[in-house]
């Protein structure tokens, strides 16, 4: 799976951790005799799943599904052939969440069963020895929340589109079966569907025939695969076709957005990824065909269903994409394709292995793009901006956790789709490849995939192969990096002779520290970058003089310095971002940054702005000083750097709005942010990406009456930005801003736009525009809808409303709703599912930047933290963030 922008998860118990493994025989014996009672719950317990993996084996499914466009529910039948463990004494349970079971037959005879809400249960004594066949007739409602078998109906055309989405434990929301990754099974699928529909699964259909006014699609038997990647998508999707070598490629999207799809781009990115992975893994793509579908209401970025990957519709924009957006698109295609080998061909035994699955796909996608794409020079810089920052942020939260840890149940697995699982995992794999040598790493990976094809693995299986080809003992490395949480900081210390111009570097030391909660110090290989100021030109500038690879460990690592190495003015201790580390610049280097920031190359500048921003968050630099520096030292010559700046400006803006005690506070800084974006927009090259980014940033920064009038003029066409494509999504972004600040023309312009843009997205944006207005009645109305038991909107829409209902500048509403938002948590927990709760917790928790806010959130955290891991995690982070804002404000008012 691929998480969107601010993503999210994780873990295991391998033999590495516990030393010697018990002999296989003994383990099985013990499990067979142990009776594990199954809880009635929407999640699956690891302990139970482990027992069932011993109880049930050699599974194959014959699944028949009856689909139509009119009903809210579908019917189906599944035949399950399996072998039961000898002398089995435990009931057999078949996972099936919230469906209807009309009949169960065992070995061709009707059989008694119990079906509560989450699984079907049969007594052990009804089974034959060993081989058994179950046949279950069932019904289930289509999903509206994106999991199970999701049904979408387009508001414009009425057409219905279905897709499946299962990870980690949602396949049982579609059909009854054993829903766990280590019960791999083959699937024989047959689907009855409306005549104008496409039906897409893991393999191409073997036949399509007419049957009672519909079409019967039958598919060949699949190889043994885990349930969470089994796909079933259907609907009147439009299709495009191409090839990669001998592999047929197809792309699907709903007809209503087909005009915006650029199939050549999809296929080119896909083919480049195929070429790279076929070589890198030394295994030709093993699953015959490869389909990609763009689907509506999707909860994450994309999902690696076998040979039928689903993507969020954000990858089909309604305007012209920037290079960065095209990069993100290529990157997610690559990530999902990497999973076909790593995850789909070789699968984790249990969800503790999720991190390796996700980290690996993440690392591989950036690696592929750095080697075989049009983005070779951008790839690792964007890895730093995206994955690294996500990882560093998550690793500094109070809820951080080791990369590898036990996962008690699938609900915990769900919360582990986080910055540790994706960002930190990928960062340490990048470090590992550098540490053992990239070619050694590749050989280890290829060997691992060949050795364990079509089976399940644990972490030690992977580490052993990498260690073997790297010819290194990785036991210590694994302990430090995978089993311990936390982010270390390094700082360099150096001394030179007295006379700066001639005296060479004499001493050089790397000092490593760790946060008190996570005291582990680590070993890693990094590159030191040395820089000097060039005084010869009219304007001073700074340039790089040397790169020095070095392995450091422990508290202090002294370097042996070559003779006559010039005294540096600036040292960056993680030059090509090989290390996973926070950097505290030494005093001399920090001074050089403040003086020469604008003259660094753009890749280094991005990192230095990030360093300064970290200083703001850690309360070492006042936020006002950062904005002042932006005003004087900003250089807009690299879209990736400008995009990173834009993110920080949005955060800075929200901090200022939250910190305001009265109308006049921080108006200087808020105006500065608006003015900087306007100034940079004016000087950006016409029609270029930098212009697009600054325009979008400007819309987000505007709050002055003059600025708001200008936005209204863009909408009516009275003013234009030369060369900028003012597309439909930009129009809505402008409208949301106007509504947020109650511009006098906001309501009429929104009504007009709503009539013009009748697409699904248009209807959703018009709701957001309305909900964002600072009007007590509107707020009350939308808040009621969000917390209502029967949801009026599909989750995709509710989620957008949650994020936009209380913008930071409407702090009075935020404050007045704080208690209601918190008090409703237990009720929502009872009435809604985990997907809804994670949307509510990530979108609604109030940030008001006061001590009272800290107190209210802390009380809620104590009171409700025990409900679920999701609720616990979001509340703890909210307390920490609220306290940070309070502290940042104190620093400003000193
Ligand atoms: Zn993934």
Cα of 305 vs centre of ligand 1, distance in Å, is: 10
pLDDT for 415 equals 82
- Is residue 593's pLDDT more than 80? yes
Cα of 773 vs centre of ligand 1, distance in Å, is: 37
Measured CA to CA, the distance from residue 132 to residue 815 in angstroms comes to: 61
Averaged pLDDT, 225-229: 98
Beta-carbon contacts of 253 under 8 Å, excluding residues fewer than 6 positions away, are 237, 238, 261, 293, 294, 313, 316
- Is residue 565's pLDDT more than 90? no
Cα of 576 vs centre of ligand 1, distance in Å, is: 25
Cα of 875 vs centre of ligand 1, distance in Å, is: 26
Cα of 186 vs centre of ligand 1, distance in Å, is: 22
Looking at 4-8, 246-250, 767-771, which range is the least confident one?
A: 4-8
Higher pLDDT, 18 or 684: 684
Q: How far apart, in Å, are the Cα atoms of 726 and each of 687, 692, 719?
A: 11, 9, 11
Radius of gyration, alpha carbons of the chain: 28
Cα of 559 vs centre of ligand 1, distance in Å, is: 40
Is the preceding omega at residue 431 within 30 degrees of 0, hence cis?
no
Contact 333, 373 (CB under 8 A): no
Q: What is the pLDDT of residues 356-391, one digit of tens each?
A: 999 999 999 999 999 999 999 999 999 999 999 999
Measured CA to CA, the distance from residue 519 to residue 502 in angstroms comes to: 40
Residue 355: which pLDDT band, with cuts at 50, 70 and 90? very high
Cα of 361 vs centre of ligand 1, distance in Å, is: 6
Averaged pLDDT, 824-835: 95
Cα of 354 vs centre of ligand 1, distance in Å, is: 9
Q: What is the pLDDT of residues 484-494, one digit of tens each?
A: 999 999 999 99
Beta-carbon contacts of 348 under 8 Å, excluding residues fewer than 6 positions away, are 12, 181, 354, 356, 357, 456, 457, 458
Q: Which position has the token pair 């009272």?
A: 852
Cα of 2 vs centre of ligand 1, distance in Å, is: 4
Measured CA to CA, the distance from residue 657 to residue 652 in angstroms comes to: 9
- Is residue 221's pLDDT more than 60? yes
Q: φ, ψ for residue 892 (rounded to 5)? A: -70, -30
Cα of 148 vs centre of ligand 1, distance in Å, is: 18
Cα of 3 vs centre of ligand 1, distance in Å, is: 7
HSE of 504 in the Cβ direction (CA atoms, 13 Å)?
6
**Bridge pairing between strands 456-457 and 308-312:** unpaired
Cα of 303 vs centre of ligand 1, distance in Å, is: 7
Averaged pLDDT, 859-883: 97
Q: How far apart, in Å, are the Cα atoms of 602 and each of 570, 641, 642, 645, 837?
A: 16, 7, 10, 12, 40
- Is residue 502's pLDDT more than 70? no
Averaged pLDDT, 514-541: 91
pTM, two decimals, is: 0.93
Cα of 348 vs centre of ligand 1, distance in Å, is: 13
Positive/negative CA dihedral, 370, 373, 378, 382: negative
Cα of 300 vs centre of ligand 1, distance in Å, is: 10
The token pair that represents 230 in the structure block: 């089994």
Residue 499: which pLDDT band, with cuts at 50, 70 and 90? low
Averaged pLDDT, 653-663: 95
Measured CA to CA, the distance from residue 603 to residue 620 in angstroms comes to: 24
Q: What is the pLDDT of residues 393-449, one digit of tens each?
A: 999 999 999 999 999 999 888 888 899 999 999 999 999 999 999 999 999 999 999
- Is residue 29's pLDDT more than 80? no
Cα of 725 vs centre of ligand 1, distance in Å, is: 33
Cα of 335 vs centre of ligand 1, distance in Å, is: 6
Cα of 170 vs centre of ligand 1, distance in Å, is: 16
pLDDT for 247 equals 98
- Is residue 562's pLDDT more than 50? yes
Cα of 785 vs centre of ligand 1, distance in Å, is: 33
Cα of 1 vs centre of ligand 1, distance in Å, is: 3
Output the average pLDDT for the chain. 94
Averaged pLDDT, 813-823: 97
Helix (H/G/I), strand (E/B), else coil: 778:
helix
Cα of 53 vs centre of ligand 1, distance in Å, is: 24
Neighbour tally for 268: CB within 10 Å: 16
Cα of 696 vs centre of ligand 1, distance in Å, is: 29
Q: What is the pLDDT of residues 159-172, one digit of tens each?
A: 999 999 999 999 99
Averaged pLDDT, 7-33: 35
Q: What is the pLDDT of residues 314-340, one digit of tens each?
A: 999 888 899 999 999 999 999 999 999
Cα of 344 vs centre of ligand 1, distance in Å, is: 11
Contact 416, 11 (CB under 8 A): yes
Higher pLDDT, 779 or 36: 779
- Is residue 15's pLDDT more than 70? no
Q: What is the pLDDT of residues 115-143, one digit of tens each?
A: 999 999 999 999 999 999 999 999 999 99
Cα of 683 vs centre of ligand 1, distance in Å, is: 39
Cα of 32 vs centre of ligand 1, distance in Å, is: 34
Cα of 17 vs centre of ligand 1, distance in Å, is: 26
Cα of 409 vs centre of ligand 1, distance in Å, is: 20
Measured CA to CA, the distance from residue 106 to residue 91 in angstroms comes to: 14
Cα of 309 vs centre of ligand 1, distance in Å, is: 11
Cα of 422 vs centre of ligand 1, distance in Å, is: 8
Neighbour tally for 62: CB within 10 Å: 17
Cα of 835 vs centre of ligand 1, distance in Å, is: 18
Cα of 298 vs centre of ligand 1, distance in Å, is: 14
pLDDT for 535 equals 83
Helix (H/G/I), strand (E/B), else coil: 515:
coil
Cα of 618 vs centre of ligand 1, distance in Å, is: 31
Cα of 421 vs centre of ligand 1, distance in Å, is: 10
pLDDT for 413 equals 87
């Amino acid at each position: 799976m691929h998480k969107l922008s601010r993503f999210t998860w994780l873990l295991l118990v391998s033999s590495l951790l516990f030393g010697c493994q018990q002999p296989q025989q003994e383990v099985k014996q013990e499990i067979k005799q142990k009776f594990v009672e199954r809880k009635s719950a929407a999640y699956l317990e690891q302990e139970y799943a482990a027992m069932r993996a011993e109880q049930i084996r050699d599974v194959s499914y014959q699944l028949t599904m009856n689909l139509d466009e009119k009903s809210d529910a579908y019917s189906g039948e599944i035949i399950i052939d399996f072998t039961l463990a000898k002398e089995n004494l435990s009931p057999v349970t078949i996972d099936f969440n919230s469906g209807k079971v009309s009949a169960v037959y065992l070995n061709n005879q009707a059989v008694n069963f119990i079906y509560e809400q989450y699984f079907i249960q049969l007594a052990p004594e009804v089974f034959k020895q060993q081989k058994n066949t179950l046949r279950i007739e069932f019904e289930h409602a289509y999903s509206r929340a994106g999991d199970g078998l999701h049904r979408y109906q387009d508001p414009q055309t009425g057409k219905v589109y279905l897709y499946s989405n299962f990870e980690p434990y949602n396949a049982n929301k579609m059909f009854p079966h054993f829903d766990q990754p280590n019960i791999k099974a083959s699937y024989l699928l047959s689907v009855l569907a409306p005549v104008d529909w496409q039906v897409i699964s893991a393999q191409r259909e073997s036949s399509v025939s007419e049957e009672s006014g519909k079409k019967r699609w039958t598919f060949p038997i699949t190889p043994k695969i885990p349930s969470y990647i089994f796909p079933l998508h259907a609907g009147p999707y439009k299709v495009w076709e191409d090839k990669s070598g001998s592999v047929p490629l197809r792309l699907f999207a709903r007809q209503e957005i087909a005009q915006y799809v650029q199939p050549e781009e999809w296929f080119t990115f896909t083919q480049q990824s195929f070429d790279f992975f076929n070589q890198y893994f030394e295994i030709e793509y093993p699953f015959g065909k490869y389909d990609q579908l763009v689907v509506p209401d999707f909860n994450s970025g994309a999902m690696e269903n076998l040979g039928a990957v689903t993507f969020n519709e954000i990858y089909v924009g309604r305007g012209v994409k920037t290079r960065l957006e095209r990069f993100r698109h290529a990157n997610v295609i690559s990530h999902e394709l990497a999973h076909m080998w790593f995850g789909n061909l070789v699968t984790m035994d249990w969800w503790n292995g999720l991190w390796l699955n996700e980290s690996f796909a993440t690392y591989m996608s950036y690696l592929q793009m750095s080697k075989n794409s049009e983005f070779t020079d951008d790839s690792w810089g964007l890895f730093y901006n995206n994955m690294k920052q996500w990882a560093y942020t998550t690793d500094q939260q109070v809820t951080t956790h080791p990369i590898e840890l036990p996962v008690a149940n699938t609900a915990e697995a769900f919360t582990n789709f986080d910055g540790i699982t994706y960002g930190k995992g990928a960062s340490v794999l990048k470090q590992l490849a550098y540490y053992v040598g990239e070619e050694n790493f590749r050989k280890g990976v290829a060997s691992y995939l060949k050795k364990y094809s079509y089976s399940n693995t644990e972490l030690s299986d992977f580490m052993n192969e990498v260690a073997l080809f790297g010819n290194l003992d990785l036991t210590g490395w694994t302990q430090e990096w995978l089993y311990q949480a936390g982010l270390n900081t390094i700082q360099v210390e150096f001394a030179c002779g007295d006379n700066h111009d001639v005296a060479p570097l004499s001493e050089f030391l790397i000092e490593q520290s760790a946060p008190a909660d996570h005291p582990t110090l680590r070993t890693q290989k990094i590159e030191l970058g040395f820089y000097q100021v060039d005084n010869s030109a009219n304007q001073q500038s700074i340039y790089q003089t040397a790169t020095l690879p070095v392995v450091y460990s422990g508290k202090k690592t002294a370097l042996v310095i070559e003779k006559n190495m010039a005294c540096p003015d600036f040292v960056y201790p993680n030059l090509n971002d090989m290390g996973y580390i926070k950097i505290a610049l030494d005093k001399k280097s920090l001074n050089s940054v403040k003086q020469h920031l604008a003259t660094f190359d753009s890749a280094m500048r991005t990192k230095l702005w990030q360093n300064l921003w970290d200083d703001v968050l850690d309360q070492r630099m006042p936020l006002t000083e950062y904005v002042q520096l932006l005003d004087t030292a900003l250089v807009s010559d690299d879209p990736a750097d400008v995009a990173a700046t834009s993110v920080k400006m949005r955060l800075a803006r929200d901090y200022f709005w939250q910190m305001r005690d009265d109308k006049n506070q921080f108006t200087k800084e808020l105006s500065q942010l608006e003015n900087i974006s306007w100034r940079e927009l004016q000087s950006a090259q016409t029609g270029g990406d930098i212009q697009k980014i600054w325009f979008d940033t400007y819309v987000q920064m505007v709050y002055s009456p003059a600025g708001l009038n200008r936005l209204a003029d863009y909408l009516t066409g009275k003013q234009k930005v030369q060369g900028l494509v003012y597309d439909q999504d930009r129009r809505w972004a402008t409208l949301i801003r106007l509504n947020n600040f109650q511009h006098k023309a906001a309501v009429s312009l929104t009504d007009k736009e709503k009539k013009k843009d009748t697409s699904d997205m248009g209807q959703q944006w018009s709701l957001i525009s309305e909900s964002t207005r600072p009007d007590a009645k509107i707020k009350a109305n939308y808040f009621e809808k969000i917390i209502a038991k029967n949801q009026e909107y599909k989750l995709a829409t509710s989620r957008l409303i949650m994020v936009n209902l209380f913008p930071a500048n409407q702090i009075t509403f935020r404050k007045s709703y704080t208690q209601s938002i918190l008090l409703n948590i237990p009720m929502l927990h009872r009435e809604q599912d985990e997907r809804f709760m994670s949307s509510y917790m990530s979108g609604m928790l109030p940030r008001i930047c006061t001590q009272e806010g800290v107190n209210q959130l802390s009380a809620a955290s104590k009171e409700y933290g025990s409900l679920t891991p999701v609720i616990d995690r979001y509340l703890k982070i909210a307390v920490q963030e609220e306290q940070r804002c309070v502290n940042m404000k104190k620093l400003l008012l000193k």
